Structure 1
Amino acid sequence: MKLKKKFLRLAVVIFAMTAVAHAQQSHHPTAPAAPTQNTASTVAGDTLYARPGQLVSAADGARLNFYCMGSGSPTVVFDSGWEDWAPAWSKVQPEVAKWTRTCSYDRAGAGFSDPGPMPRTSVRIAQELRTALHNAGVKGPYILVGSAFGGDNVRTFADLYMDEVAGLVMVDADPDELEPQTMQEETHRGHAGIISQLRDCRNAIAEHKPLPVMKSRPGQPQRTCAQQFFRGLPEAEWSPELNAKLLEIAQTRVAMYDAYISEMEQTPQDEAWLQQHQRSFGGRPIRVLTSGNHGVGHLERKPPDTPEHLKYEQETTAAQARWLSLSSNAKQIFARNSSEYIQFDEPETVINAIREVYDQAEKPVAAGAATSERAPGSVFRDCPECPEMVVVPA
């Protein structure tokens, strides 16, 4: 989810039934109503994310929850948007895992991961991710995939550890520090109200009180604060089992609210850090996916095309295009029939972009193979000694 203007931030959440929202006004976990639509492949596969995967220690001792699947290199590593965690990649990761290793994870405090130290800056998040990957035996190079706020984190990772990065895919990622100053200031002003709402929800859970009902927009059902995660719970693209578990987490985990509050509070510092430490990717491939509907969780709930909204989307698209200057091998890809959640609405667009980066990325030298005088951690293009890719069954 995006850290954007308040009216866009609230617009991303819709719900299948009004009755579900009224049923969730207690902090006690209750299974949501069945989603209005589903596919057999989604139902069969997304329950993986309804239980912990591999819990791996980060530098500070907190354990991060990973879902790694597939074989091959470079490894594709996914980071999610604000108020999202690993299930955001449930329609993309299993497909990419058919031709290389993939890892999605829950940031500290979110999902099944342990709470991490404060404040939750992108630098800390990137450091924790790298340490946990190494502790899990998942060494680079990595293709980093970031959605929304996750884009801040993967760019920070790359700026810190460029030698371990093979490529980058930005999925309608937040380009806040590249936007006009007036847009940045408006975004930061809107954060105060969002943080206040989130803190009210956090306190209700901590004190075992009924969850606050959030203000509803015209034509939308009321919802509790626990139903705001991702683009709204229950999510029609997910199985009842996954929806029930995610809602249970959102209704009970105080640490998750603390983490997301801190992440939002730290965004001005994160943006300043990225401006000061931006590095060239050289020839590493970068693909920038743009929906033109940044901040819109569902197309049917898209705000009217007012001059203000059109200007906002145009400036966001232009800001995302500025990432193309980071690499000599960069391209912007438009997903015009998608909300900001391109990985839900056009998963093939995301999968194809990752495949394109994978095909053009430098591959690591196999263990024991002859090396050049390049520094440790370097990656090599068209390596004939590299092991064959292992494809997992479809």
Structure 2
Amino acid sequence: MAQASSQDWNRGEKSGLVSIGSHSLYMAVSGPDRREGEPIVVLMTGLGSTIDEWVAVRRLIEPFSRVLFYDRSGLGKSEGPANAPKAISAVSIATELDTLLKNAGIDPPYVILCHSRGGITAREFLHLRPNDVAGMVFVDANQENTFTGHEDFPSPGFEAMLIGIDYYEIAGIKSNTPLSKEEFQTVLDIQGKPSTAITSKAEEAGAKGDSSVLAAKKQLQNQALGNRPVSVIHANTARDFQRLYEAGIEAGNGSESDRQEFRDIVEFWRETSTMRAKEILGLSSVHNFRDATDSGHNIQLLEPELIVDELKWVYNHPAKKD
């Protein structure tokens, strides 16, 4: 166990590196000073993503809640381990967050805010700390059944269609994000770093085994959160995929079989994504579902206020004691 941080992370606006033993992770806290028993929002970002994408969300949370954002190993301002793993599982990510919180002296209760693959890592964290999570907000998040029938996603054929395609432009993020020019440039700079690509590849490799590991815990069947509130936001990711497909065709990318693979994914997403998002509601008897039809997958870069509305909903529906 690493030595606990000497900083008081429950007061004031602070950021810096905190040791988790083998290396240190970067974290930033802000919002009102925390009193005992008050929840703190903890962000778990998606695959290959950093907290820089969430600055607009953070600004909107700070007036009403303490908030902690951190970068995973090998991403953003965090260090990586001396021997970088070839695959990073959701269990290992959750375990590192557990250690980070303990070493920083940030006690529960936690309200978990998670996006994309963060939906899987957040639920592995829930498994580690089942009594310490006061509520959860899932932002277009994956779950154990998300890719059933398309377990190889993203397949080589899918990726062949995206060669040379600017996702941020095609998805409408560049022209519509509320981030400042400088803030958005930081996102682009970090996504362009070789270290981000290396870590993202390892996270992608680790994600292949996540679903079966999480499914075995039967959290959805057993209502793992009881009556603690859950909000699920479902984005219009199928629209993102359709736009990317059209851009890939225009660029002349992919063979006909690659293009068919991509069309299959677009149709698969249209048919299943709402159903899979609603299945996450099974974690709790107290839940809310929101369809974000105007946002693609990265709602944090398009409609941060929508995410914060759902956080406020969670805060306004605390679990009732028996």
Task: Output the TM-score relative to the length of structure 2.
Answer: 0.76
The two structures, once aligned, show a CA RMSD in angstroms of 3.3
SS of residue in 2 equivalent to 1:55: strand
Task: Return the alpha-carbon distance in structure 2 between the equivalents of residues 266 and 146 of structure 1.
Answer: 18
**Which residue number corresponds to residue 207 of structure 2?**
267
Q: 1:233/1:133 Cα in 2 relative to 1: closer, same or farther (>3 Å)? A: farther
Structure 2 residue aligned with 1:145, among 113, 118, 126?
113
Q: Given the alignment of the two structures, is residue 325 of structure 1 paired with residue 282 of structure 2, yes or no? A: yes
Q: Distance in 2 between matches of 1:289 and 1:174?
A: 11
Distance in 2 separating the partners of 1:191 and 1:275: 26
Contact 2:74/2:199 (<8 A) preserved: yes
- Identify which of 303, 312, 315 aligns with 2:269: 312
Shift of 1:251: 4.7
2 CA distance for matches of 1:56 and 1:191? 37
Question: The residue matched to 2:316 in structure 1 has which SS?
Answer: helix
1:55 aligns with 17
Among candidates 290, 293, 297, match of residue 237 of structure 2 = 293
Q: Does 1:257 align with 2:197?
A: yes
Equivalent in the alignment of 1:41: none
Of residues 160-169 and 114-123 in structure 1, the stretch that sits farther from structure 2 once superposed is 114-123
Cα distance change of structure 1 residues 240 and 160 upon mapping to structure 2, 3 Å threshold: same
Question: Counterparts of 1:109-120 in structure 2 under 5 Å?
Answer: 109-116=74-81, 118=85, 119-120=87-88
Q: Tell me the SS of whatever aligns to 2:56.
A: coil
Percent same amino acid at aligned positions? 25
Of 155, 158, 163, which aligns to 2:131?
Answer: 163
- Superposed counterparts of 1:57-206, under 5 Å: 57-58=19-20, 60-71=21-32, 72=34, 73-116=38-81, 118=85, 119-175=87-143, 177-179=144-146, 181-185=148-152, 187=153, 190=155
How much does 1:232 deviate? 7.6
Q: Cα offset for 1:139?
A: 1.1
Pick closer, same or farther for the CA change 1:286–1:95 going to 2, 3 Å.
same
Aligned residue type for 1:320: A
Are 2:177 and 2:302, in contact at CA under 8 Å, matched by a contact in 1?
A: no
CA 1:344–1:258: 2 relative to 1, 3 Å? closer
Q: CA deviation at 1:140?
A: 0.9
User: Which residue type is aligned with residue 133 of structure 2?
Assistant: V
Tell me the SS of whatever aligns to 2:113. Answer: strand
Q: Distance in 1 between matches of 2:24 and 2:264?
A: 46
- The 5 A counterparts of 1:376-391 are none
Q: 2:92 is matched by which residue type in structure 1?
A: R
Q: Distance in 1 between matches of 2:60 and 2:313?
A: 14
Give the counterpart of 1:343 among 292, 296, 300.
300
- Paired position in structure 1 for 2:163: 215
Q: Is the 8 A contact 2:31 2:62 kept in 1?
A: yes
Could you report, residue by residue, the CA deviation over 1:151-203 in whole angstroms, capped at 9, with x for unpaired residues? 1111111122111111111000123x314632234x15x16975x99xxxxxx
CA contact (8 A) 2:227 2:285 kept: yes
Contact 2:53/2:187, CA 8 A, preserved across alignment: no
1:233 Cα offset (Å): 7.8
Q: TM-score, normalised to structure 1's length?
A: 0.63
Tell me, which stretches of 5 or more residues in structure 1 are unaligned? 1-51, 198-213, 363-379, 383-394
TM-superposed CA distance for 1:247, in Å, is: 4.4
| Residues 69, 94 of structure 1: 8 Å contact kept | no
1:276 CA displacement: 0.8
Instruction: Please say if residues 235 and 243 of structure 1, whose CA atoms lie closer than 8 Å, have aligned partners that are also in contact.
Output: no
Q: Return the alpha-carbon distance in structure 1 between the equivalents of residues 156 and 108 of structure 2.
A: 35
5+ residue gaps, structure 2: 1-13, 247-262
Q: For the structure 1 residues 235 and 61, does the alpha-carbon distance in structure 2 shift closer, same or farther, using more than 3 Å as the test?
A: farther
Residue number in structure 2 paired with 1:5: none
* Letter matched to residue 182 of structure 1: G
Tell me the residue number matched to 1:361.
318
2:183 corresponds in structure 1 to: 242
- State the 1:283 CA deviation: 0.7
2:253 corresponds to: none
Q: Point out the structure with max Rg over C-alpha.
A: 1
1:293 Cα deviation after fit? 2.2
